[in-house]
Amino acid sequence: VADYGSQAIICKALAEVFPNDPVVGEEDATELQTPEMAENLAKITQYVQEIIPDATSEQIINWINQGNGKVEKRFWTLDPIDGTKGFLRQDQYAIALALIDDGEVKVGVMGCPAYPVENHQPGALFVAVRGQGSTMIIVATGEEIPIQVVPENDIENLRFVGSIEASHGDIERQDAVAKAVGIIAPAVKMDSQAKYGVVASGKAALYLRLPSPKTPNYRENIWDHAAGAIVVEEAGGRVSDMFGKPLDFASNPKMLENRGIIVSNGIIHDTVLAVLNQ
């Protein structure tokens, strides 16, 4: 329900400001239009009306389907609720939006309502614009804080951040790589693209998402990584696939030419690649 409502509201807003830009989103409203989903559609309509009081069910379906755009020279990609299991646990999740233009991610925004913020209520917004750095906005106060990845001499934050869900990677291999590059501090485990925020803000040095042995041919979706990638890169970090290739966000909704994800503070990236290639 939340995924659909989030996509409807965001696609409506994008269409009003950027009417010519397609949106490649995760959700599709086809199933919502079946009789079996009538109750869910009513719930979604109720929640959306808390933000847009005069919204109708028909309009909401149309707004959701605005996220069925195609990959073009310029487009937005949206994950309306990244980390569904985290959302259901009332733990970490992210609303992730990115602008891709001429083959490159230009803007990335991640809303992380449960992200821990020191001395404040949880909630952070991560924003990055190509060439202009990355910022963390504290939701409770609106304060904007420029962020940077962890430096080489910050041993306390030389940590690994990984997924809670074991199915989201090769956990054993990821832990072995982290240890091989000298990371000995306890790992941080959380759901969603919020992990990119942890690396970008200098609270961890490495995030790995290596293909699970159970699904070795799996390819990642662009909306699961585009916003997080620019946030880390603009904070001074580096993002690639497990072979060192840049992530291709501009050819297909799935990153068919990439396998695995490495997100680092940049300093240890080549060492991680070398360990993986051994």
How far apart (Å, rounded) are the C-alpha atoms in residues 207 and 98?
Answer: 20
Q: Say if residues 113 and 122 touch (Cβ distance below 8 Å).
A: yes
Judged on CB neighbours under 10 Å (0-12, 13-18, 19+), 59 is: middle
Torsion, Cα 135 52 11 27, to 10 degrees, reads 100
10 φ, ψ (degrees, to nearest 5): -70, -40
The amino acid sitting at 109 is V
- Helix (H) / strand (E) element for 74: namely strand 74-82
Residue 81 structure tokens: 């609720």
Give yes or no for a contact between 227 and 162, defined as CB atoms under 8 angstroms apart. Answer: no
Question: Catalytic site residues?
Answer: 3, 84
Alpha helices in the chain (DSSP H): 2-17, 38-49, 57-65, 84-88, 171-180, 194-200, 226-234, 269-277
Pairing mode, if any, of strands 94-101 and 74-82? antiparallel
User: Rg of the chain over CA atoms, in angstroms?
Assistant: 19
**Residue 98: how many CA atoms within 13 Å on its side-chain side?**
30
